Copies of this chain bind each other. A is one copy, B any other.
Amino acid sequence: VASFYSLTFLTDYGTEDGFVAACHGVCAKITANARIIDITHLVPPGDIRRGAAVLSQTVPYLPTAVHVAVVDPGVGTARRGIAIATASGSVFVGPDNGLLSWAVEASGGPTAAVSLTNKALWRSQDVPATFHGRDIFMPVAAHLFAGAPLAQAGQRIDPESLTTLPTPHTRITSTGAECEALTRDHFGNIQLSITSQQAESAQLSSGTKIRLRWPNGDLVIPRRRTFGEVPPGNLVLYTDSAGYLALAVNGGNAAERLSISPGTRISCAAGPAEAG
């Protein structure tokens, strides 16, 4: 029997309705012992890619868990509901629309997957078409948390058949990189699709200046360990807490300053040498 420390929950449900609480309640009725860690419920409505980015970058810091994620613009249509066991011992539950794919990789890759066809684990046999988080995903997850084996949730499916999101556009050369803006966070920091290791091989090291060009901009920006190493109000490139290169303004908001949003293509090259 698998053993999970907790159940985690990520959605685009927002926090002003009772949607999240209804799911917590449904879980509590099935298993009294699940500690739920809410990751976020403020994924922009229907933004699968943003949900996938937040989930995959948070999961490495969470205990072994049943992870429920619902960003599901196709709810009630033909897309499958799925549960995926991963090499690290966690299980992911949600819609088969790519939302889970990056996090499943970050969790060691899939070892088994099922389509959620067993209605005995749903909230009821006959559920409405529009709230699968409450009616299918959360009750199935609660049963898995409580000890139900994965195979009980439904029909085995080939992990190769799972929907995956395209990986971000990233091309590393020995003198720079092509990448895209991956996400922006609460502070307005813009995460690029280049890890700090990739940056090293592209000669974009800390302590240097880097030239960024994108459709609406062309700037030379210093790369530093942290924002505090440039004067207040200045732009800086640093390695963010998920290990990616990111753009920030010390004490300010880079996303508001620059016309860059998730998906914007950016080219990076070593800039002019810095004065010692």
* Contact among B22, B26, B54 for A18, CB-based, below 8 A: B54
Within the oligomer, what is the number of copies of this chain? 3
* Contact among B26, B32, B54, B76 for A225, CB-based, below 8 A: B76
The yes or no answer to A159 lying at the interface (CB within 8 A) is: no
Contact B63 A16 (CB under 8 A): no
The residue in chain B whose Cβ has the minimal distance to the Cβ of A22 is B61
Residues of B contacting A14 with CB < 8 Å?
A: 185-187
The yes or no answer to A200 lying at the interface (CB within 8 A) is: no
Contact B77 A25 (CB under 8 A): no
The yes or no answer to A218 lying at the interface (CB within 8 A) is: no
Within 8 A of B (CB), among A48-74: 54-55, 57-58, 61-63, 73-74
Within 8 A of B (CB), among A154-183: none
* Contact among B40, B77, B135 for A15, CB-based, below 8 A: B40
Residues of B contacting A276 with CB < 8 Å?
A: none
The yes or no answer to A38 lying at the interface (CB within 8 A) is: yes
Contact A241 B58 (CB under 8 A): no
- In this complex, the member of A23, A41, A128 whose beta carbon has the largest number of chain B beta carbons within 10 angstroms is A128
Contact B54 A17 (CB under 8 A): yes
The residue in chain B whose Cβ has the minimal distance to the Cβ of A65 is B25
Contact A61 B25 (CB under 8 A): yes
A sample of 14 inter-chain contacts (CB < 8 A) reads A5-B29, A5-B32, A14-B185, A16-B186, A17-B40, A19-B185, A21-B39, A25-B63, A73-B227, A75-B227, A130-B239, A130-B240, A130-B241, A135-B241
- Beyond A22-B61, A46-B251, 10 additional pairs, beta carbon < 8 A: A13-B186, A15-B41, A15-B42, A45-B186, A45-B187, A45-B253, A75-B226, A76-B225, A77-B228, A128-B239
